């Protein structure tokens, strides 16, 4: 199976502090990979590097075998990497439908955005997505009136609208009620059928719900261990790292 994402000897230092330390990572096309790790382990920084927000001090990032370092964020996004942020970031002054439509736009150059009109394919995509994320009755509602969980789902919908091959989701269950967490989990699982996904998570309950493939544990910017949920949970190093935290 081909690799969708390969990361080689990645180091990111902020004024000498190594947020990522010689990290190696790779995942197959079609995989749903869960990354866990305590606070400050470098999980968000890891996504920052892949999406071009932070330049690595050392190392390479390959997407479908192509080196994507030094490309600006928007070009990386156009290559097919979509990112959901830790706190939901949707456009609050636009409606739910407009949020999706903006991302769905096939040609994102200035003049085609100015003169183009949404084609029927794009309209269908938006309508389909509204249903997938369960917000079809709120399509014309301004996004600032959505609940936290609905914003999370909308942002995931926006990712998909971008039609990326790789979805990066940063703590999608943070701050959600149990029911909403389950909704988001189910949404991710259904998306996993047609996308490669990296999901970063904190909440072990949620990880158990979605981790069918491999789980990667990050600790202090480096890879601690990797394996199935079962293996990872019983690994003594993982238990030690998580010991200070709530027992799972």
Partner 1 sequence: MNLEFETGIQRKQKERRYKLIEIAVILTAIIILAAILPSVIPAFRLRLIGRFLSLAIVALGIDLIWGYTGLLSLGHGIFFALGGYALAMYLKLQLPEAQIPSFFTLYGVQELPWIWQPFYSFPFTVLALFIIPGIVAGLIGYLVFRNRIKGVYFSILTQAALLVFYNFFNGQQELINGTNGLKTDTEQIFGVLVSSSGVQRTFYIITVIALFLVYLLCRWLTSGRFGRLLKAIRDDETRVRFSGYDPTGYKVLVFAISGAIAGIAGALYTVQTGIITPSIMQVAFSIEMVIWVAVGGRGTLIGAIIGTLLVRLAQTFLSESFPEIWLFFQGALFLIVVTVLPDGIVGWWQDYGWVKLRSLLGGNQPLVTYPSLAEDPDVQQERDSMSGN
Ligand X SMILES: Nc1ncnc2c1ncn2[C@@H]1O[C@H](COP(=O)(O)OP(=O)(O)O)[C@@H](O)[C@H]1O
Tell which positions 3-62 bind partner 1, by CB under 8 A. 51, 53
CA–CA separation, 170 and 232 (whole Å): 20
Half-sphere exposure of 155 (CA within 13 A, CB side): 26
Tokens 């150059």 belong to which residue? 109
- Choosing from 6, 8, 28, 136, the residue that interacts with partner 1 (CB under 8 A) is 136
Q: How many residues lie near ligand X (CB under 6 A)?
A: 10
User: Would you count residue 141 as binding partner 1 (CB under 8 A)?
Assistant: yes
Q: Which is nearer to Mg ion, 86 or 142 (CB)?
A: 86
- Choosing from 11, 29, 44, 58, the residue that interacts with Mg ion (CB under 5 A) is 44
By a kind-dependent CB cut-off of 5 to 8 A, residue 175 interacts, out of ligand X, partner 1, Mg ion, none, with none
Residues 188 and 197 sit within 8 Å (Cβ to Cβ): yes
Site stretch for ligand X (CB under 6 A), options 32-40, 94-102, 128-136, 139-147: 32-40
Site stretch for ligand X (CB under 6 A), options 43-51, 121-129, 141-149, 229-237: 43-51
Site stretch for partner 1 (CB under 8 A), options 63-71, 84-92, 213-221, 235-243: 84-92
Read off the tokens for 190.
Answer: 């259904």
CB atoms within 10 A of CB 56: 20
List the alpha helices (DSSP H) in the chain: 43-50, 73-79, 96-104, 110-115, 120-132, 148-161, 178-192, 204-210, 229-234, 236-243
Residues within the interface to ligand X (CB under 6 A) = 14, 19, 37, 39-45
């Amino acid at each position: 199976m081909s690799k969708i994402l390969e990361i080689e000897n990645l180091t990111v230092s902020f004024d000498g502090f190594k947020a990522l330390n010689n990290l190696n990572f790779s995942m197959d096309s079609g995989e749903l990979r869960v990354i866990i790790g305590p606070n400050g382990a470098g999980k968000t920084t890891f996504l920052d590097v892949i999406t071009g927000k932070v330049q690595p001090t050392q190392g390479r990032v390959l997407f479908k075998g192509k080196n994507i370092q030094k490309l600006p964020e928007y070009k990386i996004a156009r290559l097919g990497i979509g990112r959901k942020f830790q706190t939901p970031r949707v456009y609050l002054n636009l409606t739910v439908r407009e949020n999706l439509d903006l991302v769905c736009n096939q040609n994102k150059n200035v003049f085609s955005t100015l003169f183009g009109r949404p084609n029927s394919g794009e309209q269908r995509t938006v309508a389909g997505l509204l249903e997938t994320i369960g917000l079809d009755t709120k399509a014309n509602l301004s996004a600032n009136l959505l609940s936290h969980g609905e914003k999370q789902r909308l942002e995931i919908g926006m990712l998909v609208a971008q039609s990326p091959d790789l979805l990066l989701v940063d703590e999608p269950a943070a701050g959600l009620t149990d029911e909403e967490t389950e909704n988001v989990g189910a949404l991710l699982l259904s998306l996993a059928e047609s996308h490669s996904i990296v999901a970063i998570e904190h909440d072990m309950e949620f990880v158990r719900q979605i981790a069918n493939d491999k789980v990667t544990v990050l600790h202090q910017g480096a890879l601690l261990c990797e394996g199935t949920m079962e293996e990872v949970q019983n690994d003594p190093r993982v238990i030690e790292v998580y010991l200070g935290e709530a027992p799972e």
